[in-house]
Amino acid sequence: MLIAFQKMQAQGNDFVILDFVDRCLPEYDFPALARSICHRQFGVGADGLVTLEAADTADARMIIYNSDGSRAEMCGSALRCVSRLLMDKFARSEALVLTDSGLKQASSKEEDITVNMGSARIVKADFPADGFVGDLVDIGNPHYIIFCDTLSDDPHLKHGASLEHHPAFPASVNVHFVRVLSRKKIQMKIWEHACGATLACGTGAASAVYSGIRKALLEHEVAVEVPGGMLKIIYQKDTDTLQLVGPVSYVFSGKYIWKI
C-alpha cells in the first residue's frame, strides 16, 4: 500500500502529515501506522504522525499520534505545521483547526506562523517530584516545568524518563527544564511524553513562559531558545491566552510503502 505524505518540521519537532481533507478517511490502523512510519531507521522518521480530515466548523480536524502510536491531546509544533499546509492549500493567510483541545486559530506573517494556544492553567504549583520542585501546567496537555540555573548537564536526558511516569502525577507528563536568561528570554530542554528528548515543543514553551510569568520571572513577550531554534511566546493578559510564534518548513513529500 502506498500512502502519500508530507513531512514538515517546526524547530526540529518533525511530523509526517497525511491530508484527507478532500477525501474519506481510510480505515487504517493509525496507531500501528504511526509506529511504522515514524520509525527513524525503518520508516520516514518523525516525532509524530498527524492526520487531517474534513470538519464542519474548521478548515480541518487534526489528530496527532505520538511515534509510539499513542494519541496526543495537543501539539503546538504540529498545529503550526498543519496551519501552514492548510494556508497553502486554500491560498489564505489564516486557518482554523479543530483539535482534541478545541478550535485553534492560526495566521501567517512573512515566515512566521502564529497560533493561539488558548489558556493555560497551573494544576499544581511548586510541586515536588523525584527530588525536583516544579509547576504542573495544563494547556490542553500536561507539562512539568522545572526552573534551574544550568542546562549544560542535560537534565532532561538524566531525569526526563523517570519524571514522565512519576507516580506523583495523575497521568504521564511532558518534562521541561528551563533556564531564565533575562526577563524576555529563556532556554529550555525538553522530554516529551511518548517521544523522549525532542528539539522543540510548542505547548511546552507556552507552559514554561506561563509558569515564569506567574512566578514574576518573565515579561509577557518572551523569546524561547529550544535545541532546534527559536520561538516566541506572547501572553495576552486581557484574554488570558498565549500565542505561539515561529517559522515552520516543509522537509519533503513522498509515498510510504506500508506492508500490513
Q: Would 2-111+248-257 and 120-239 be classified into the same CATH topology? A: yes
pLDDT of 260 > 80? The answer is no
Q: Give per-residue pLDDT as tens, 151-161.
A: 999 999 999 99
Confirm whether 38 is a catalytic residue. no
H or E element, residue 77: helix 76-90
Confirm whether 201 is a catalytic residue. yes
pLDDT of 79 > 80? The answer is yes
Question: CA dist 56 to 21, 81, 86, 90, 102, Å?
Answer: 11, 21, 15, 16, 13
What residue segments make up the domains of the chain, in order of their start? 2-111+248-257, 120-239
| CATH superfamily of this structure's domain 2-111+248-257 | Diaminopimelate Epimerase; Chain A, domain 1 (3.10.310.10)
pLDDT of 148 > 70? The answer is yes
CA nearest 97: which of 111, 112, 118?
118
Q: Give per-residue pLDDT as tens, 112-144.
A: 999 999 999 999 999 999 999 999 999 999 999
Q: Which residues have CB under 8 Å from 24's CB, separation 6+?
A: none
- Model-wide pTM > 0.85: yes
CA nearest 46: which of 175, 198, 193?
198
Range 146-174 average pLDDT? 97
Answer yes or no: CATH 3.10.310.10 is held by domain 120-239. yes
Catalytic hit among 38, 81, 195, 201 = 201
Q: Which residues have CB under 8 Å from 183's CB, separation 6+?
A: 217, 218, 219
**pLDDT category of residue 259 using cuts at 50, 70 and 90:** confident
Q: Are 205 and 233 in contact (CB under 8 A)?
A: yes
Q: Give per-residue pLDDT as tens, 36-71.
A: 999 999 999 999 999 999 999 999 999 999 999 999
Share of residues in the chain with pLDDT > 90 (%): 98
What pLDDT does residue 38 have? 98
Range 199-207 average pLDDT? 98
The Cα–Cα gap between 196 and 242 comes to 25
Catalytic hit among 75, 81, 148, 195 = 75
- Which residue carries 506572547 as its cell? 234
